[in-house]
Amino acid sequence: MGHVDGETAVAALGSGRWRAYVSPSWSISGTPNGGYSALPLLRAMGELAGQPDPVSATIHYLRPALGDAAAELTASAVRRGRRTVVVRGELAQDGEARLVATAVFADLATPAGEGPELTLPAPSIPGPDACTPRAELVQGVELALLDRVDVRVYLDATSGRAVVDGWVRFVDDTPPDPLTLVLLTDVFPPSAIAVVGPTGWVPTIELTVHVRRRPAPGWIQARFETDDLHDGRMVESGCLWDETGALVARSRQLGLLRR
Amino acid sequence: MGHVDGETAVAALGSGRWRAYVSPSWSISGTPNGGYSALPLLRAMGELAGQPDPVSATIHYLRPALGDAAAELTASAVRRGRRTVVVRGELAQDGEARLVATAVFADLATPAGEGPELTLPAPSIPGPDACTPRAELVQGVELALLDRVDVRVYLDATSGRAVVDGWVRFVDDTPPDPLTLVLLTDVFPPSAIAVVGPTGWVPTIELTVHVRRRPAPGWIQARFETDDLHDGRMVESGCLWDETGALVARSRQLGLLRR
């Protein structure tokens, strides 16, 4: 079992309760990464749903999660349809709710309809080996999670836009799956750095990820853009593509840029 | 009191419970519009929060709401911070949950930080009087809600993109506010019509709205785009601007295009 699966495993306690251990190995400046801390919760919610793929997952970050600490998870289904199941869940540590999530689980192998298709092609960027390892960017944070994810960043200084492109894969070569794509939407530096410079820690208020296809093994290509920053509140949107160029996930988050 | 306020009013019953009446006047083919049915719930959640503005509101549509019927609302705060309050809520009718929501309430008049700003300018489109009233578009649905909202649509057939532009205001001239912007993100025809033709009813699975600024009185300009439609599941993103050109809300939804 790879690191990401082992370090987001959950143990069912029955009656919609699970127990997990939040590892310190996915932290940014001592706080577990938000994409990472959402994974045990979504994993428990998916077990309850009995459908494999989080086609929509919204996570609200209430308080920082605690690394190297146990977590209590609770989840309940609010709607069991034939093809989709909607589940709400909560991750608590030390008796306090840290994250709440609502997610829609379905089977991406079962089409919901037929007809025309529209997609966003992956932008043309240099390959992973020609991009900058995230560790070499100055962002004002300490990045333990780079022992778990290999993040390569491409910044086009001529664009004038707050865009970060790049590539990501798990360091131990665990292939991405629909659940771990949620994590991979949250491991790049904030795209605001492309226009405002080092940002420090950018707390996420709410993150919504739409998983669109099951990813092929290999690198995930990513693009994130902050096109809307006002009074310290920013909307960042992202796209992930797999190595075949298929659009596999979309993300949008509301975050705080405190400076 | 205008129609939108009167027809989304809630009566507090205490202990995190409210009662509302869902009007049949905001329906599409007999089902209350999703933006409309979310409003009494968000109104109750905002009362509980004690902060005025839904800076992030995520609504999951579990079953169609019922028009001309009472609704039971429940809400609870999962996090009360000094500046933001996170609330979860549920709208039930006939004993069944129809909508669940999670929203972050804050005061848009209080900046969360200072520093650079980024925004999306409103596209240049013809004025409201030069656009097409929504009632004149063939979409294959019956639109009672057009007695409540005046929706003007601009379709640029040369763009090749699934984009719908236009303008909207309440028929009785009620000025828009941060809460009612949520409704206004969901009253345009599905932008997919621009490339696939009449779509019929497009059920929303999940809708997330970020309210960015309090809107000035007058028309709201809107743009919606579906850039990602696969196996009948579509991601549609929207922007709303007020009459001064300020970006006031962003939306993204996962919907089903059944055809």
* The pLDDT value given to residue A200: 81
DSSP B38-71: HHHHHHHHHHHHT-SEEEEEEEEE-S---SSEEE
Residues of B within 8 A of A100 (CB-CB) are 78, 86, 88, 102
Name the band, by pLDDT with cuts 50, 70 and 90, for residue B138: confident
Residues of B within 8 A of A229 (CB-CB) are 116-119
Structure tokens at B125: 């489109």
Structure tokens at B205: 């699975």
Mean pLDDT of B142-153: 95
Structure tokens at A25: 């190995």
Q: Measured between alpha carbons, how far is residue A51 from residues A80, A82, B222 in Å?
A: 10, 10, 36
Name the band, by pLDDT with cuts 50, 70 and 90, for residue B1: confident
Q: How many residues does chain A have?
A: 259
Residues B183/B38, Cβ–Cβ less than 8 Å = yes
Q: Mind telling me how many Å the CA of B2 is from chain A's nearest CA?
A: 30
* The pLDDT value given to residue B225: 98
Query: Residue B18 pLDDT > 90, yes or no?
Result: yes
Name the band, by pLDDT with cuts 50, 70 and 90, for residue B200: confident
* The pLDDT value given to residue B206: 98
Q: What is the chain A residue with the closest CA to B197?
A: A116
* The pLDDT value given to residue A154: 97
Give the integer Cα–Cα distance in Å for B7 and A256. Answer: 34
Task: Give just the sign of the alpha carbon dihedral A211, A213, A215, A221.
Answer: negative
Residue type for B101, please? Answer: A
Residues B236/B252, Cβ–Cβ less than 8 Å = yes
* Strand locations in B51-162 (E): 53-61, 69-80, 85-93, 96-106, 132-133, 149-154
Please judge whether A117 and B230 are an interchain contact, meaning their C-beta atoms are less than 8 angstroms apart: yes
Residues of A within 8 A of B93 (CB-CB) are none
Dmax (CA) for chain B in angstroms is: 55
ipTM, interface predicted TM-score of the complex:
0.97
Q: How many residues does chain B have?
A: 259
Give the integer Cα–Cα distance in Å for A188 and A75. Answer: 29
Task: Mark B225-242 as b/e (b = at least 16 C-beta within 10 Å).
Answer: bbbbbbbbbbbbbbbbbb
Nearest to A97 among B79, B117, B195 (CB): B79
Q: Mind telling me how many Å the CA of B65 is from chain A's nearest CA?
A: 14
**Alpha-carbon Rg for chain B in angstroms:** 18
Residue type for A103, please? Answer: A
Q: What is the chain A residue with the closest CA to B92?
A: A78
* The pLDDT value given to residue B139: 74
Residues A220/A151, Cβ–Cβ less than 8 Å = no
Task: List pLDDT tens digits, range A66-104.
Answer: 999 999 999 999 999 999 999 999 999 999 999 999 999
Q: Mind telling me how many Å the CA of A2 is from chain B's nearest CA?
A: 30
In the DSSP assignment, the letter for residue B64 is -
Q: Give the DSSP H/E element, type plus range, for residue A20.
A: strand A17-22
Please judge whether A104 and B256 are an interchain contact, meaning their C-beta atoms are less than 8 angstroms apart: no
Structure tokens at B74: 């429940």
Q: Mind telling me how many Å the CA of B29 is from chain A's nearest CA?
A: 20
Residues of B within 8 A of A119 (CB-CB) are 227-230
Please judge whether A112 and B252 are an interchain contact, meaning their C-beta atoms are less than 8 angstroms apart: no
Please judge whether A60 and B116 are an interchain contact, meaning their C-beta atoms are less than 8 angstroms apart: no
Nearest to A205 among B100, B104, B230 (CB): B104
A-B contacts at Cβ under 8 angstroms = 178
DSSP A215-255: PPSS-EEEEEEEEEEETTEEEEEEEEE-TTS-EEEEEEEEE
Q: What is the chain A residue with the closest CA to B208?
A: A208
Give every residue of chain A whose pLDDT is below 50, as ranges. Answer: none
What is the β-pairing status of strands B163-170 and B204-211? unpaired
Q: What is the mean pLDDT of chain B?
A: 96
CB atoms within 10 A of CB B13: 12
Residues of A within 8 A of B118 (CB-CB) are 162, 192, 195, 226-230, 234
Structure tokens at B166: 């236009």
- pTM > 0.95: yes
Mean pLDDT lowest for which of A189-198, B21-30, B53-62?
A189-198
Give the integer Cα–Cα distance in Å for A242 and A122. Answer: 9
Task: List pLDDT tens digits, range A16-47.
Answer: 999 999 999 999 999 999 999 999 999 999 99
Which segments of A50-172 does DSSP mark as H helices, in order? none
Please judge whether A60 and B228 are an interchain contact, meaning their C-beta atoms are less than 8 angstroms apart: no
Residues B99/B59, Cβ–Cβ less than 8 Å = yes
Please judge whether B118 and A258 are an interchain contact, meaning their C-beta atoms are less than 8 angstroms apart: no
